[in-house]
Amino acid sequence: MNNTPYMLILVMSFFSYKSEGTTKKQLSAYDSTAIQQDTAKVNYSSRIKSPSKLDLIEKTNAKNVSQSGDDVNKAYVRLSAGDSSIHISANMRLDHRIFGFDQPNTNSKRLFLFSIFTDDVKDNPFNFPLGAYYDSSDLASKNLTLHYIKTSGDFIEASLSNSKNKITHRLYFEKKWIEIE
């Protein structure tokens, strides 16, 4: 009996099996590389920061005030009546968002905020060192007052005083948000 056809079939099967095994290994190596690349893409995209809740609050509320144009609520000082106190009353129909800065510069540290927006004020989410308030009556409830000191360019200098009229801090507000009578 001639074993050549059987041997040929056996040899072909062996090479077919070896070839199939190699292909599987190559695919596995390819799949492994593809998986690593996909994982790198996922890790990269997860490192891209999405806006935080505070960033969204900042953007939304700043946009709301900006869209109000000149139809906004402002703080006022009645110097003509001999009162240097800074007052603002919350008005639900008028937006306001007035920051007190550490220096007469909007890029300096924000210390204080008057805002009509609850998400700006409630629990002081931005952690302003001097607090966040709806209006000057909120300050009064904490035995604090704001007083106008002087105008310096586009800013007014003010003082925050405690119940004993002791100045605890000096801060600056953009002049455009304060009406001086």
> Taking 80 as the threshold, does the pLDDT of residue 97 lie above it?
yes
d(CA 72, CA 136) in angstroms, rounded, equals 16
Question: Given this model, what pLDDT does residue 70 score?
Answer: 79
pLDDT digits (tens, 9 = 90+) for 111-144: 999 999 999 999 999 999 999 999 999 999 999 9
What is the arrangement of strands in the sheet containing 110-115, beginning at the earlier edge strand?
A: 132-133, 110-115, 97-101, 167-174, 155-161, 145-152
From first CA to last CA, the distance across the chain in angstroms is 121
The token pair at 138 is 């909120």
pLDDT digits (tens, 9 = 90+) for 6-65: 554 544 554 554 544 544 445 455 555 555 555 555 555 556 677 888 888 889 888 988
Q: Which amino acid is at 94?
A: L
> Taking 90 as the threshold, does the pLDDT of residue 177 lie above it?
yes
The token pair at 20 is 């199939």
Indicate the Cα dihedral angle 7, 12, 18, 19, nearest 10°.
Answer: 170
d(CA 87, CA 7) in angstroms, rounded, equals 103
Which pLDDT band holds residue 69 (cuts at 50, 70, 90)? Answer: confident
* Residue 78 CA: distances (Å) to CA of 89, 90, 145, 175, 181: 14, 18, 14, 15, 5
* Closest listed residue to residue 177, CA positions, set 112, 119, 125, 130: 112
Q: Are 73 and 96 in contact (CB under 8 A)?
A: yes
Question: Given this model, what pLDDT does residue 71 score?
Answer: 83
Which pLDDT band holds residue 1 (cuts at 50, 70, 90)? Answer: low
Question: Given this model, what pLDDT does residue 142 score?
Answer: 92
